[in-house]
Amino acid sequence: MRRGMGNQASPPIMGETNKSESVQRLDLSVDLAPNSPRHLWLANPVMIASGTFGYDGYGRGITEDMDLGQLGAVVPKTFTRLPREGNTEPRWYPQSYREAWDAGDLLFLNAIGLTNPGIEAGIRDVAPTWDQWNATCILSFSADTAEQFGEMATMANQGTGFRAIELNLSCPNVEDGSLFGHSAGLTAQAVAAVRAETDLPVLAKLAPNVPSITDIAKAAVNAGADALTICNTMPAMRIDTTTRKPVLGNITGGLSGPGLRPISMALVYQVSKAVDVPIIGVGGIFSGEHAAEYILAGASAVQIGSANLVGLSAPWRILTEFEDWMRQTGVSGLNELTRETPSHR
């Protein structure tokens, strides 16, 4: 079930088009944390996904003409407790998503390994610069233990430049080797540890390859998550038949792009029937119509990932296309789309 649209507290910004009197005005605003005293109002539902914001994940390559304030929100790359160098090269397949897209090769894999400077440097040096963008930024972090998740939330309380936290739960718990996002119990521990240390809105990003994503989603919500991001990449690999070796240095990686979209959309739909918090759909969104599909499946907002790596201007194009789709179909507000969510058959 979707929350965050319609008759909540009034948003600070309403998404609308005012190019001329003849253009239909749209209410694109959405609250991703309606149960939080802080709320998380976005001007529109189009966000940039963690790890794909610019060429380095932290905005390199974003130019002055790319007005981030026109987007719903930005989630810069995940921070970990300590700095990480990342996985062995090559980390991307194909090496150029843009060239692959132009050639019709839509199988996108990556195994970055969360390369980042660590949360201390992130809070001290990186996050404060986000204020210059006039955008709603969301801090993403990952941890090795539930206790460490809580510790990082405490550190986040001292930071600036962001209005919410997204928990990357597709990471191993060093205490027993399990992935947080693969266990309802571990997910609950991680979310609860963060919830106990901060009143910032908390988004939990879930993994797709689990026995029951609805059980894990419920555990996250019951532990205090204000919204859910669905989903992270899907484990995958490819082998070069010429070299007879995997195309990634890490052997396996994460599948993103068009191949992930129908998987993620099905998970969004399932979870939307099981929980009563906003859901952010992510995976293979390359057009405004793809965004509309996710909204119709039960999402309140969407994150653009691989499309950014094809072209950094993708989020703005997708937002414009989504607005055009709404006008063409006679929809003036996101809350109208909630009535169109398909029912079980």
Residues labelled as active-site residues = 171
* Cα pseudo-dihedral 189, 302, 274, 222, rounded to 10: 20
CA pseudo-torsion sign 287, 290, 286, 29: positive
The whole-angstrom separation of Cα 102 and Cα 95 is: 13
Cis, peptide link before residue 11, omega less than 30° from 0: no
HEC string for 147-205: HHHHHHHHHHCCCCCCCEEEEECCCECCCCCCEHHHCHHHHHHHHHHHHCCCCCCEEEE
Element (H, E) at 109: strand 108-110
Query: Which amino acid, one-letter code, is at 53?
Result: F
95 in Cβ contact with 84 (< 8 Å): no
100 in Cβ contact with 106 (< 8 Å): yes
Angle between helices 261-272 and 288-297 (to 10 degrees): 30
List Cα–Cα distances, 41 to 81, 229, 310, 327, 342, in angstroms: 28, 16, 28, 22, 26
CB within 8 A of 127, min separation 6: which ones? Answer: 76, 137, 139, 159, 160, 161, 162
Nearest to 46 by CA among 320, 296, 336, 344: 320
Q: How many other CB atoms are there within 10 angstroms of residue 343's CB atom?
A: 5
Sheet containing 92-93, strands listed edge to edge, beginning at the edge strand earlier in sequence: 92-93, 108-110, 253-256, 234-236
